[in-house]
C-alpha cells in the first residue's frame, strides 16, 4: 500500500477530506463548513446538508489532494465515514469514496464516525496506551466508552435525550445567540456569573453513567418565561438584556460542564483507567477543558484533548481510524452502505 490515505467525512454538516502520510502525518485537512447555510434555522436541516455535500465533495477532495501535493495515482487507500449520522449526508461521502476506490483500484475502508473522533487524539499523541475512558461529546452524541484495547469499545453511558452539543445549540437559539451554539454560549458566558442561576444538574441514579440534558434546556426556557419573556415561534427570545444573556450562558455552561466532568471522572475511577480522552466538538469548550483537567489532577488521572480543529468534524480523524483498520486487513466492498445508526463496538 502506498503511504498516502485519503479520508472523506460527510456525516453531518461539514464536507471534509484529508490526506495522511503513513497514517499519522497530516498532509492536508480540508473542511467546508455549512454553518451559514443552516444558521437561519438554528440547527441542521438534513435535506439541505446532503445537497450541499453533493456540491462540495469533489472540490473538497481536489483541494485536499492539492494541499497535500499528492496526485490521485499516489493514493494507497480511501477511508470513509459510513455512520452514524444523517443518512443522506453519509451517502454522498460513501458514494464518492466507492467511486474513487473503484476507479483507482485501491482498497476502501469504512469508519465509524465516533471511532474517528476518538482516534483524533492519536494524531497528536501517537504513543498513547490502553486502557482509557473516552467521552465523545458533540452535536449528535454524548457517549462515554471504556476502551481496554484497540478496537474494543464498551459503552458505559450515553445521553438519554439531547446530546450536550445539541443542548448548547438549543439554549443558544433560545438566547438569540445563533448557530452553532457552543462557541456562541462560550463567548456570551465569558462576561457572566456562572453562579447567577442554579440550573439543575441531572445525575442518573443507581450507579448509571447516563446523561440527560433536556431538563437543563427546559429549565432555561422556564427561567426566561418566569421573568416574563415571551419565546417567539422561531424559538428565540427577543430583547434580552446582554447581562442576563451572559449570566444565563455562564450558568448553563457551568451546569453542563459539571455533569460531564463528574461522569467522566466517575467512569475512569470505576474502570481504574489512568487516562481520559475527550473528543467531539464540545471538547473545544475551554471551561470543560479546565474543569476536567482540575478534576483529573485531583484523582491523579491524565486527561487529553485534541486540538480544536481535530475535535470538530474533520477527515484527518477518519483517515487515521481507517489506516489502523486497513493495517489489520479490514476492507469495505463496493456494496458498502451508509448506516445512520451504526453502533460502535
Ligand atoms: O463534532 P462536531 O463538529 O459535529 C458532530 O459530530 O456533531 O460537534 C458540533 C457540536 C455543536 O453542537 C457545537 O455547538 C458544539 O459541537 N461545539 C461546542 C463548542 N464548539 C463546538 N460546544 C461547546 N463549546 C464549544 N466551544
Ligand atoms: Zn462528529
Q: Where are the domains of the chain?
A: 4-120+310-327, 130-305
| Cβ of 318 less than 6 Å from ligand 1 | no
pLDDT recorded at residue 264: 97
As a whole number of angstroms, the distance between CA 185 and CA 194 comes to: 12
Q: Please tell me which residue, 205 or 243, carries the higher pLDDT value.
A: 243
The region, left, alpha or beta by phi > 0 then psi within -120 to 50, assigned to residue 125 is beta
| Cβ of 280 less than 6 Å from ligand 1 | yes
What is the DSSP track for 270-324?
A: HHT-SEEEEESGGGG-HHHHHHHHHHHHHHT-EEE---HHHHSS-SHHHHHHHHH
pLDDT at 221 over 90: yes
pLDDT recorded at residue 342: 96
pLDDT at 324 over 70: yes
Mean per-residue pLDDT, 290-298 = 97
Q: What fold does the segment set 130-305 form as a domain? A: Nucleotidyltransferase; domain 5 (3.30.420)
pLDDT recorded at residue 202: 87
Sheet holding 154-158, edge to edge: 154-158, 142-147, 132-137, 275-279, 302-304
Q: Please tell me which residue, 202 or 293, carries the higher pLDDT value.
A: 293
The residue behind cell 438566547 is 175
pLDDT at 345 over 90: no
pLDDT recorded at residue 265: 97
pLDDT at 236 over 70: yes
Mean per-residue pLDDT, 248-254 = 98
CA gyration radius, the chain: 20
pLDDT recorded at residue 238: 87
Report which bound ligand comes closest to the CA of 189.
1
Mutation to probe ligand 1, out of 282, 288, 309 (largest number of atoms < 8 A from CB): 282
How many Cβ atoms are within 10 Å of 331's Cβ, its own excluded? 13
Number of the ligand 1 atom closest to the C-alpha atom of 179: 14
Mean per-residue pLDDT, 63-70 = 98
| Cβ of 282 less than 6 Å from ligand 1 | yes
> If pLDDT is split at 50, 70 and 90, which confidence band does 120 have?
very high
Shortest-distance Cα residue to atom 14 of ligand 1: 182
Percentage of the chain exceeding pLDDT 90: 93
pLDDT recorded at residue 207: 87
4-120+310-327 under CATH 3.40.50.10490, yes or no: no
Mean per-residue pLDDT, 163-181 = 95
pLDDT at 203 over 80: yes
Number of the ligand 1 atom closest to the C-alpha atom of 279: 1
pLDDT recorded at residue 284: 98
Q: Please tell me which residue, 237 or 282, carries the higher pLDDT value.
A: 282
> Is 188 exposed, middle or buried, given 0-12, 13-18 or 19+ CB atoms closer than 10 A?
buried
Q: Do domains 4-120+310-327 and 130-305 have the same CATH topology?
A: yes
Shortest-distance Cα residue to atom 22 of ligand 1: 182
pLDDT recorded at residue 2: 77
pLDDT at 206 over 90: no
Kind and range of the H or E element at 133?
strand 132-137
- pLDDT, one tens digit per residue, over 35-61 is 999 988 878 999 999 999 999 999 999
What's the chain's average pLDDT?
A: 96
pTM: 0.95
pLDDT recorded at residue 1: 62
pLDDT at 196 over 70: yes
pLDDT recorded at residue 319: 98
Amino acid at each position: 500500500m502506498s503511504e498516502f490515505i485519503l479520508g472523506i467525512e460527510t456525516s453531518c454538516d461539514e464536507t471534509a477530506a484529508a490526506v495522511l502520510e503513513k497514517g499519522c502525518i497530516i498532509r492536508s485537512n480540508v473542511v467546508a463548513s455549512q454553518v451559514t447555510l443552516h444558521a437561519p434555522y438554528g440547527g441542521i436541516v438534513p435535506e439541505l446538508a446532503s445537497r450541499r455535500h453533493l456540491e462540495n465533495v469533489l472540490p473538497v477532495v481536489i483541494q485536499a489532494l492539492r494541499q497535500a501535493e499528492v496526485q490521485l495515482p499516489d493514493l494507497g487507500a480511501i477511508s470513509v465515514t459510513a455512520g452514524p449520522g444523517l443518512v443522506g449526508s453519509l451517502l454522498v461521502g460513501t458514494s464518492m469514496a466507492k467511486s474513487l476506490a473503484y476507479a483507482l483500484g485501491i482498497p476502501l475502508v469504512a469508519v465509524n464516525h465516533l471511532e474517528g473522533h476518538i482516534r483524533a487524539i492519536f494524531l497528536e499523541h501517537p504513543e498513547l496506551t490502553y486502557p482509557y475512558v473516552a467521552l465523545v461529546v458533540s452535536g449528535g452524541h454524548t457517549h462515554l466508552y471504556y476502551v481496554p484495547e484497540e478496537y474494543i469499545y464498551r459503552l458505559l453511558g450515553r445521553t438519554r435525550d439531547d446530546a450536550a452539543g445539541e443542548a448548547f445549540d438549543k439554549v443558544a437559539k433560545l438566547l438569540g445567540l445563533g448557530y452553532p451554539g457552543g462557541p456562541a454560549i462560550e463567548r456570551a458566558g465569558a462576561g457572566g456569573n456562572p453562579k447567577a442561576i442554579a440550573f439543575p444538574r441531572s445525575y442518573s441514579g443507581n450507579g448509571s453513567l447516563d446523561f440527560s440534558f433536556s431538563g437543563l434546556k427546559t429549565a432555561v426556557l422556564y427561567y426566561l418565561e418566569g421573568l416574563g419573556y415571551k419565546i417567539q415561534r422561531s424559538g428565540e427570545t427577543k430583547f434580552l438584556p446582554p447581562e442576563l444573556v451572559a449570566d444565563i450562558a455562564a450558568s448553563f455552561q457551568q451546569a453542563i460542564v459539571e455533569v460531564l466532568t463528574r461522569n467522566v471522572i466517575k467512569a475512569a475511577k470505576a474502570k481504574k483507567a489512568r487516562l481520559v480522552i475527550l473528543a467531539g466538538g464540545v471538547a473545544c469548550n475551554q471551561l470543560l477543558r479546565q474543569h476536567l483537567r482540575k478534576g483529573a489532577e485531583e484523582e491523579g488521572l491524565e486527561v487529553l484533548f485534541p486540538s480544536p480543529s481535530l475535535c470538530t468534524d474533520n477527515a484527518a480523524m477518519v483517515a487515521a481510524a481507517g489506516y489502523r483498520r486497513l493495517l489489520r486487513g479490514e476492507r469495505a466492498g463496493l456494496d458498502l452502505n451508509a448506516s445512520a445508526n451504526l453502533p460502535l463496538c
